[in-house]
Structure 1
Amino acid sequence: MVDVRRVKLPGVGVLHTFVTDDGGKVGVIAHRSGHSDLITFSDDEDAADVTKVSLRLNEDEAHTLAELLGGTQITESLTALDQIPGLSIDWFTVDYDDHIAGQQLGTPGERGIVGLTVVAVVRGESANPAPAPDFKVFPGDTLVVAGSPEKVAKAFAFFRSGDLPVRAAQSVDAPPGG
């Protein structure tokens, strides 16, 4: 029987890992937002030929992979226990072609995303909790954000493209005479 380690990732979800017979590790990060990351990496951190592969799966893709591998819905059930209604905490890994790459973080409210918080920016092996608005974001950084699932999705769209969807209801919220 395979020994599976389960580690809660506060605000993110749950990480399940196991070691294969050939010394590699396989892991699945089940995010609160519903998507999963499938990761594989060498167990020997000092090896010269360490390789790591990471694959982001949406909820449907994760279910399909689980079915193909003969998995159960235990992971889904455990993840559901960890969820807080109305709150999504997720991470965004910055790529070179993302809008936010090379930019100052700013504040979500100034960028039109009220009700979202950038909890931390992870760079390499260090975390920068509660980053200031002038914190410069670089490719490879991971932004940890918290807010409603809709606000998180809106922030991710902005980080990627620089565009925010415009709601028709915004004109209703405008102050009188403005």
Structure 2
Amino acid sequence: MAEPGVGLRYEFVNHEGDRVGVVAQRSGDFELVVYPGDDPDEARSVLRLTREEADTVAEILGAPRSAERFADLTREVPGLGAEQIEVRPGSPFAGRALGDTRARTRT
């Protein structure tokens, strides 16, 4: 991880050997970059995301892993389970963020 003047840069090498970086800008926006060589100043921008767009991508990428981890946990903890519940139009929970409904606290 490096700290350029515009925010924080996180880097990793993927399974194909590409050096990839994510620049978390102080503005809250993000930039996905790829390095064609060894010089971190030669980064090629691949994608720019607003904070909201980055949150959406993180949720999409994290959802399968979260579900997998929870499935592992349900095998380890007797009596722990999960179900999907349909929230119908007109419900006091419809259109609201889960945290705002306090549903987790109530259940």
TM norm structure 2:
0.47
Richer in strand (by share): 1
Higher helix share: 2
